[in-house]
Amino acid sequence: MIFERVRSEGLAHISYFLGSDKEATVIDPRRDCQVYLELARRNEMKIQHIFETHRNEDYVIGSRELAHFTGAIIYHGPGLNFKYGETMKDGQGFSFGKMKLTAIHTPGHTDESMSYTLVDPKLGDQPIIVFTGDTLFVGDVGRIDLYGQVEAPRLAANLYDSIFNKILPLGDGVILCPAHGTGSVCGGSISEREQSTLGLERLHNPALQKTKEDFIKFKVAERFERPPYFRTMEQYNLEGPPPLESLPDPPPLSPREFQKRMKPGAVVVDTRTPSAFGGAHIAESYHIWLRGLPMFAGWLLPYDKPILLVLENREHLEMAVRYLVRLGYDNVEGYLCGGVEACGLEAWYEKAIPTEHLGLLTVQELKTRLDRSDDLIVLDVRSENEWNEGHIGGALHIYVGHLEERLNELPVDRPIAVICKVGNRASLGASILRRASRREVYTVLGGMMAWQKADYSVT
Amino acid sequence: MIFERVRSEGLAHISYFLGSDKEATVIDPRRDCQVYLELARRNEMKIQHIFETHRNEDYVIGSRELAHFTGAIIYHGPGLNFKYGETMKDGQGFSFGKMKLTAIHTPGHTDESMSYTLVDPKLGDQPIIVFTGDTLFVGDVGRIDLYGQVEAPRLAANLYDSIFNKILPLGDGVILCPAHGTGSVCGGSISEREQSTLGLERLHNPALQKTKEDFIKFKVAERFERPPYFRTMEQYNLEGPPPLESLPDPPPLSPREFQKRMKPGAVVVDTRTPSAFGGAHIAESYHIWLRGLPMFAGWLLPYDKPILLVLENREHLEMAVRYLVRLGYDNVEGYLCGGVEACGLEAWYEKAIPTEHLGLLTVQELKTRLDRSDDLIVLDVRSENEWNEGHIGGALHIYVGHLEERLNELPVDRPIAVICKVGNRASLGASILRRASRREVYTVLGGMMAWQKADYSVT
Amino acid sequence: MIFERVRSEGLAHISYFLGSDKEATVIDPRRDCQVYLELARRNEMKIQHIFETHRNEDYVIGSRELAHFTGAIIYHGPGLNFKYGETMKDGQGFSFGKMKLTAIHTPGHTDESMSYTLVDPKLGDQPIIVFTGDTLFVGDVGRIDLYGQVEAPRLAANLYDSIFNKILPLGDGVILCPAHGTGSVCGGSISEREQSTLGLERLHNPALQKTKEDFIKFKVAERFERPPYFRTMEQYNLEGPPPLESLPDPPPLSPREFQKRMKPGAVVVDTRTPSAFGGAHIAESYHIWLRGLPMFAGWLLPYDKPILLVLENREHLEMAVRYLVRLGYDNVEGYLCGGVEACGLEAWYEKAIPTEHLGLLTVQELKTRLDRSDDLIVLDVRSENEWNEGHIGGALHIYVGHLEERLNELPVDRPIAVICKVGNRASLGASILRRASRREVYTVLGGMMAWQKADYSVT
Amino acid sequence: MIFERVRSEGLAHISYFLGSDKEATVIDPRRDCQVYLELARRNEMKIQHIFETHRNEDYVIGSRELAHFTGAIIYHGPGLNFKYGETMKDGQGFSFGKMKLTAIHTPGHTDESMSYTLVDPKLGDQPIIVFTGDTLFVGDVGRIDLYGQVEAPRLAANLYDSIFNKILPLGDGVILCPAHGTGSVCGGSISEREQSTLGLERLHNPALQKTKEDFIKFKVAERFERPPYFRTMEQYNLEGPPPLESLPDPPPLSPREFQKRMKPGAVVVDTRTPSAFGGAHIAESYHIWLRGLPMFAGWLLPYDKPILLVLENREHLEMAVRYLVRLGYDNVEGYLCGGVEACGLEAWYEKAIPTEHLGLLTVQELKTRLDRSDDLIVLDVRSENEWNEGHIGGALHIYVGHLEERLNELPVDRPIAVICKVGNRASLGASILRRASRREVYTVLGGMMAWQKADYSVT
């Protein structure tokens, strides 16, 4: 049997390619699906089934894309009116090569959530692996807030029942294969460790140590961010996302062409490092560092405008495009061309087109200015949880995802130092403030990690 | 016949791999010589001869390295006491497979300079290709200043004779294969076009349109920079450079380890972009952008101290190391580790270790400040030729290679804006000033290209 | 300037990618055109022009394919009614970046044949390179037999005039870039050496040493094979070949599926070595060794039937498909699957599906049998030229390309030993005989090379 | 945490790379150890510990090789006098990054066999993963026959105790990571499934369903082949194998050079397919198909003679060399050069150097001949287990590994048809017979699989 985990970093998404004899199955494929085709090709297999664990909300599901290339049949859980694929029933069985897969209805994260057990008939009916989607993670369980506060208690109860009545009884020795690893927006406490079993989770997963009542209370009280792009993902994944065929290949743009396309309203996204962005950047650009795209593009970028990229170098293009199409942004019109392997911004400034800069503060410099009782405002853009664990006294708090809509809460005409954990989100926040014409804006390099390392006090 | 140009960018060096039947020959191999071994392997050939055109001064020759792996014999021109290899005579012939190579003594660039003609015996004695080393380039001829002013007229005369009496008579239809392309320090006007023939050079090479007398005058009057590392290269290439075996693989260093190694006198080289360096950098570091290493490492870096690198990302490590070993810098002790594919500086500042920054000026900002009759000094660090073609009125001129030794020519305590053509050398110059504790230093982004693009006046 | 030769081995076809600043041009692109897109991408260029030197007959031109991806304009020579692209006039000029290309009408190989000169305006009007298509090769000139015997003298005269009046006058120093290298069906004596200039050709090209009269006589007397697929290529290239989009990716087929598809008339092509084919093969299959596909597929394979492949191993699939699509065979239905990296035939015989074998003779064995005055017939399947240079006394001669239609010339019921130069074409010939139900057929391993090496007599 | 399985196919060996923060650990490294260095490099880690589970007997352990490059410390189990590395005690703990590894002494397969548990201190002391070496496999347990029949009962009892008292009590949820997968000579019934847990093994591993008494009986009765090269491996792994530094890169040899090296006693190994070998091969060569090298080289090849390879094509060279160095064969002197990407044999026979051939029989042909009561002997070279499950009536049985020493059991002067499961081992057997000057030898293509598929009777 072939068993391959396919990780999509950034989203911390995990999909699975399973094969036996000449037949293969994919669970929760991603949209840039060449990876599965290549696995099938290399193993001389034919992908026949595609299983979704649920209507995902954090990325575009690649089922239709993969079905387009393979003719495989797509299967969904019951109770949601998908516009493509087929609906399964609880307990329905499938086979590929010598292996069997059984669908188990495990509502909770969403109503139609499914898990799948893998059975090797040689060993009888006992499953070897269970694929749990967003129901059970390593060290955490799925979020239940997606239907709103009213539905949350019902979903939490369903989730508890799915886990305790359907999944854990499969046996301690069963290997756990969830849809997300650490860093996903779909679970706040997913473990860094990827390997687990039902036995290990039963003993160590904090959420599974509670009574049903406590479990429900705990889950209902949890607070997660819900980026606005989730709505688009849900719609895409329900109706079937637009076909992609191949990864877009945006052209290099000369500064002149770049400027021409900026005019009618394209959005500029600068994916370089905070110090490079702080040093010089194009006016009005968002700063989203390369590996921040999967997490923050969906908070800020509109789906109806073209996107223009400013990259550290050409090698980053494919990664940036890949991150964006996974969120459904298929409209990258080009990237600022800086000549082969050079940063695009050089091309820009050698044409005497003005750039802007941001202040960059070390934590020592920040401390000095705060001690001088400067009128500097510290704006902390970390999540609520991070803020609650300790922050600089007197700082304001707005999560970076909400900053654009809450700009009016910030005093006008005072300098603002934006801080996060290490500096990336701060730089994004600073770019949002600069887009809103705030004059004196600083990014704190090193953020709260450096602040605490320097032994400055936190509240 | 197999004919492969192997380009080493940065040095603008060109070496040649020739093969016929199962036998191969390499002309002027570079030190990181796996490329020739791989060509031999792929073509199932054995490298039997290595020919040097002269004792190179701008890079470490890879002959011994390649001979170590292949057992090939190394050949030099006459009149210089090489400590390895064999000395040829003018007119000496060699064969590989069905092809013949004939050595021609073509002094001028240096006394022992050789050229080589390739003859296909099927066509009689008429050569097809001539490999001219640093004697004749596409659009230029070799420099003759390496033995000093006294010897220059003699070498210029020799060069003229070698070209006009030995090379051009081979025939217009002979293909020209020199040792350098555009961008080399070995010739100031080498054409961007790589393809040429003796016929094209006879008609179009500016240096070949002169009488012998004018040619000598012109060559003697030429001024080239002669970086200090040339001495080391000459010694290496005469005595045989230290063996390399494989490309060094410097380890990632945590900020703590990095600091520990900085103490006893390691040199920090930051290869990021000027805007990233300007935004934040480690105190005392040189800024040499990645593709500037082959040109400027040899001006500034000592051979007897360890080198520590700060990189844009891990992918740049191999390139940086490759550039450095080609100049004989084998002592890269490590690079600042920033976690996989992240910039090393993030690791540094999140540990609250202070960074410094430079001012970055657009040309518009520079103009405004100069118009305000600011006390800002403009320091132009381009070459003498570039300076002579036009510069900002009132600017000072010191070539970036000489800046460190001429710092005392700069007024103390006035702000300095460093300018070059687009900004890279300016940033290097600014880093030199900062190492010398100059307080207020600016890099002009876009440099003289942007200045002229913006229609500001030049002198 | 970027200058890249793109070689398509097998066809011995050479196309050219030229770039300057951000603009690129391709001359005679091949159909699997990703290579040019990748060159454009890597150099951050846009392909704007595609030039054809003539309506090719030996491969499917990739102009439309490349235009589909780039929007580039396709240009043809005058006098032929192409259904796509634009028609040029003699002397028409084009520019890309800083470079200029001028079209020269050079009829002879065909009436609409064009050459192109590359001019660097910095050097005045003198061209640097000339792209000569099938007009002038290194060591040979284009064939003039494609319009038939009646037109041959006219075309030969045109060719002479094109070369002597239009191309050679460009100057000895001009670099020659033809459309084919050694091994092409478009010229029998093309040199192995790829590098040449007009000066070298003027002096050494045998065809250019003749008077016009002798040139015409010589060309008219030349005999070339004209494979039947040339008709299809001519039609494709005139009307525009079917779009390809991406290289076909034929699926692995189990022996059962393979057999099912053989039934309705698919053609089986076995690309393994002669000894493997001789040892065991599927009944009715053609044996065309992998690197023989570009040369022999077009002689034997129909365009209206599916093709099934038997490969040495999976790694050969892409190459086989690439060779076939270049000749317009887009209908490869699959390959015999042998499990990862194993030969497909193993899967076949482990299912107890019968295989056949051929006799394999060493030249020593052949000699012994002939000396015994065996009734063995020796069938020499080499070209007429090769046959004329010496063959085994008493052998029959039929070129392998004509064998299928001339089978009735062979005596029935006598054993036949097929011989060529080393054994590949002999094995193809033997497979044709076996398809025609000839019982006792042998492939001579080592062929005439071994025969002569063993000092056996030739006639 | 980084967790990577490194599979060495052929040997079915599995090693493990574990990393946390910047520190890495490798368990049972293979000799061609670049793979671990690359994992460390990519993850910016330093390999600090190397753990061996036991003195392996089926391959050369790569510990010293890897320690040479990294400075890591090597650890062995107690009770065997290793000439390198350090000896651990039962229960000894180690840490890397945030993780802990604990050594458990689990004698049985050998006396010094160790297992290792991985503990994430965040979860308390409960292990997550156990690395069991050759103690416990997926679906099988280690062999206990290596010390001979006298010691076998003691070792079997030890193995039972190690598994039942030390490993299984770790908990059903613990993930199982053994040193071998299916196909290894170290266990006859290892499952194809690679994923397992202690819980799954407790329930499904056939060996674990027995009482201690039955377990011992069962293990003592098991019969495994013990190839002669095991002795060399044991000595190497005890004393420390010779250093390798980098994968050998054997040169291409012309037929003349190849013949010259054959003279003084080099061994020729032909790695092509059975049908290619049958069709034509060099006299005296062993036929070991490429993927059979890890299993059969050690049965047949001497350690004190050079090895010469005949390959399907150049691409197979690295794989063949890799397989051989894993068994300690560092003396591959070259491979028969056939020109780029062509089979070497072509070069051989085009020089008129004679080749030999074997008969190749389909099962239908075999059946016909046996039915004719031919004097053909059927020689079955499969393992004893395979033979016992059914064979052709009247066949002789000698395992291919023993064939060379038992040749005198075969009647002289009768034709012999060698059969195995599908044809590869049969072809190896046939090559052994031909080396021993047996005249009429056949390989049965398809073997017993085809025989049974064709519904012919078995005994």
The arithmetic mean of pLDDT across residues C48-75, rounded, is: 96
Q: Residue A452 burial (CB < 10 Å; 0-12/13-18/19+)?
A: middle
ipTM confidence score = 0.92
Span between the terminal Cα atoms of chain D, in Å: 54
**DSSP, residue by residue, C216-283:** HHHHHH------THHHHHHHHHHH-PPP-SS---PPEE-HHHHHHHHTTTPEEEE-S-HHHHHH-B-T
Helix H segments across C120-222? 152-161, 198-204, 212-221
How open is the CA angle C107-C168-B124, to the nearest 5 degrees? 120
Q: Does residue C373 surpass a pLDDT of 80?
A: no
User: For position D264, what pLDDT does the model report?
Assistant: 82
Of D43, D44, D251, the CB nearest to B46: D251
The arithmetic mean of pLDDT across residues C42-49, rounded, is: 94
Helices D63-70 and D34-42: angle between axes, nearest 10 degrees: 40
Residue B202: phi and psi, rounded to 5, are -55, -40
Which residues of chain A fall below pLDDT 50?
Answer: none
* Closest to C108 in 3D by CA, of C62, C167, C51: C167
Alpha-carbon distance of B447 to B256, in angstroms, equals 36
Best mutation target among D3, D129, D200 (most A Cβ atoms within 10 Å) is D200
Q: Name the strands in the sheet holding D175-178, side by side, starting at the edge strand that comes first in the sequence.
A: D93-96, D99-105, D114-119, D127-133, D175-178
D168 contact partners, CB below 8 Å, separation of at least 6:
D198, D201, D202, D208
In this complex, do D204 and A3 lie within 8 Å of one another by their Cβ atoms? no
Strands (E) in D389-448, as ranges, are 396-397, 416-419, 441-444
Contact between residue B146 and residue B57 where contact means Cβ atoms under 8 Å apart: yes
Taking CB atoms and an 8 Å cutoff, what residues of chain D touch B339? Answer: 44
Q: How far is the alpha carbon of A280 from chain B, nearest alpha carbon, in Å?
A: 6
Taking CB atoms and an 8 Å cutoff, what residues of chain A touch D129? Answer: 195
User: For position A399, what pLDDT does the model report?
Assistant: 96
The arithmetic mean of pLDDT across residues B288-314, rounded, is: 94
Q: Does residue D340 surpass a pLDDT of 70?
A: no
Helix H segments across B248-343? 255-262, 274-279, 293-300, 316-326
Give the A:B interface size as CB pairs under 8 Å: 124
Q: Is the dihedral of CA C294, C299, C303, C308 positive or negative?
A: negative
User: For position A288, what pLDDT does the model report?
Assistant: 97
Taking CB atoms and an 8 Å cutoff, what residues of chain C touch D450? Answer: 349-352
Identity of the residue numbered C453: K
DSSP H/E element including C324: helix C316-326
Question: Could you read off the pLDDT of D365-398 as tens digits, one per residue?
Answer: 999 999 997 799 999 999 998 999 999 999 999 9
Pairing between β-strand D73-76 and β-strand C175-178 as defined by DSSP bridges: unpaired
User: For position D339, what pLDDT does the model report?
Assistant: 67
Question: Could you read off the pLDDT of B79-101 as tens digits, one per residue?
Answer: 899 999 999 999 999 999 999 99
Pairing between β-strand C377-380 and β-strand D127-133 as defined by DSSP bridges: unpaired
Count CB-CB contacts under 10 A for residue A101: 22
Question: Could you read off the pLDDT of C315-329 as tens digits, one per residue?
Answer: 899 999 999 999 999
Tell me the CA distances in angstroms from A180 to A103, A142, A158, A192, B355, one per residue in order: 19, 10, 20, 11, 37
Chain A CB within 8 Å of residue C98 CB? no
Helix H segments across A240-388? 255-262, 274-279, 293-300, 316-326, 344-350, 363-371, 384-388
Identity of the residue numbered B57: E
How open is the CA angle B290-B293-B297, to the nearest 5 degrees? 145
Best mutation target among B270, B275, B317 (most A Cβ atoms within 10 Å) is B275
Q: Does residue C211 surpass a pLDDT of 80?
A: yes
Entry pTM: 0.92
Question: Could you read off the pLDDT of D276-312 as tens digits, one per residue?
Answer: 999 999 999 999 999 999 999 999 999 999 999 999 8
Q: How large a percentage of chain A has pLDDT more than 90? A: 87
In the numeric block, which tokens belong to residue D391?
A: 């064979």
Q: How far is the alpha carbon of B14 from chain D, nearest alpha carbon, in Å?
A: 26
* Closest to C106 in 3D by CA, of C158, C162, C59, C152: C162
Alpha-carbon distance of A116 to A100, in angstroms, equals 10
Question: Could you read off the pLDDT of C393-419 as tens digits, one per residue?
Answer: 999 999 999 999 999 999 988 999 999
User: For position C342, what pLDDT does the model report?
Assistant: 65
Contact between residue A296 and residue A267 where contact means Cβ atoms under 8 Å apart: no
The confidence band for D274, taking pLDDT boundaries of 50, 70 and 90, is very high
In this complex, do D193 and A120 lie within 8 Å of one another by their Cβ atoms? yes
User: For position D366, what pLDDT does the model report?
Assistant: 96
The confidence band for D159, taking pLDDT boundaries of 50, 70 and 90, is very high
Helix H segments across D249-388? 255-262, 274-279, 293-300, 316-326, 344-350, 363-371, 384-388
Residue B419: phi and psi, rounded to 5, are -130, 145
Best mutation target among D5, D193, D194, D208 (most A Cβ atoms within 10 Å) is D193
Contact between residue A300 and residue A287 where contact means Cβ atoms under 8 Å apart: no
Taking CB atoms and an 8 Å cutoff, what residues of chain A touch B350? Answer: 422-423, 446-447, 449-450, 453
Q: Is the dihedral of CA A179, A181, A185, A186 positive or negative?
A: positive
Alpha-carbon distance of B201 to C227, in angstroms, equals 44
Alpha-carbon distance of A109 to D31, in angstroms, equals 47
In this complex, do B44 and D249 lie within 8 Å of one another by their Cβ atoms? no
User: For position D158, what pLDDT does the model report?
Assistant: 98
The arithmetic mean of pLDDT across residues B295-321, rounded, is: 94
Tell me the CA distances in angstroms from C177 to A145, A198, B104, C17, C196, one per residue in order: 68, 67, 28, 12, 8
| Helices (H) then strands (E): counts for chain B | 15, 23
User: For position B188, what pLDDT does the model report?
Assistant: 77
Q: Does residue C338 surpass a pLDDT of 80?
A: no
Average pLDDT in chain B? 94
Query: Can you say how many angstroms the Cα of residue A169 is from the centroid of all Cα atoms in its chain?
Result: 31
DSSP H/E element including B429: helix B424-435
Identity of the residue numbered C151: E
Q: Does residue D341 surpass a pLDDT of 90?
A: no
Chain D CB within 8 Å of residue C296 CB? no
Pairing between β-strand C46-51 and β-strand C73-76 as defined by DSSP bridges: parallel
User: For position D143, what pLDDT does the model report?
Assistant: 95
Contact between residue D208 and residue D161 where contact means Cβ atoms under 8 Å apart: no
Average pLDDT in chain D? 94
User: For position C184, what pLDDT does the model report?
Assistant: 86
Alpha-carbon distance of B331 to B269, in angstroms, equals 13
Contact between residue A275 and residue A424 where contact means Cβ atoms under 8 Å apart: no
Alpha-carbon distance of D117 to A388, in angstroms, equals 37
Q: Does residue C439 surpass a pLDDT of 90?
A: no
Contact between residue D128 and residue A195 where contact means Cβ atoms under 8 Å apart: yes
Which residues 191-250 of A have a C-beta within 8 angstroms of C?
246, 249
C371 contact partners, CB below 8 Å, separation of at least 6:
none
Alpha-carbon distance of A320 to C398, in angstroms, equals 60
The arithmetic mean of pLDDT across residues B156-182, rounded, is: 97
Phi-psi region of A87 (alpha: psi -120 to 50; beta: other; left: phi over 0): beta
**Bridge partners, residue A3, by sequence:** A18
The confidence band for D337, taking pLDDT boundaries of 50, 70 and 90, is confident
How open is the CA angle D441-D442-D444, to the nearest 5 degrees? 155
Chain B CB within 8 Å of residue C3 CB? yes
User: For position D255, what pLDDT does the model report?
Assistant: 93
Best mutation target among B193, B198, B203 (most C Cβ atoms within 10 Å) is B193
The arithmetic mean of pLDDT across residues D175-196, rounded, is: 90
User: For position C212, what pLDDT does the model report?
Assistant: 98
Helices C293-300 and C229-239: angle between axes, nearest 10 degrees: 100
Give the B:C interface size as CB pairs under 8 Å: 82
The confidence band for B158, taking pLDDT boundaries of 50, 70 and 90, is very high
In this complex, do A42 and C339 lie within 8 Å of one another by their Cβ atoms? no
In this complex, do C46 and A251 lie within 8 Å of one another by their Cβ atoms? yes
Closest residue in C to D357 (Cα) is C360
* Closest to C109 in 3D by CA, of C229, C224, C235: C224
In this complex, do A340 and C314 lie within 8 Å of one another by their Cβ atoms? no
Q: Does residue B373 surpass a pLDDT of 80?
A: no
Question: Could you read off the pLDDT of C241-290 as tens digits, one per residue?
Answer: 999 888 999 999 999 999 999 988 899 999 999 999 999 999 999 999 99
Q: Does residue D347 surpass a pLDDT of 70?
A: yes
Contact between residue D144 and residue D156 where contact means Cβ atoms under 8 Å apart: yes
In this complex, do A43 and C340 lie within 8 Å of one another by their Cβ atoms? yes
Alpha-carbon distance of C75 to B53, in angstroms, equals 44
In the numeric block, which tokens belong to residue B443?
A: 């890099």
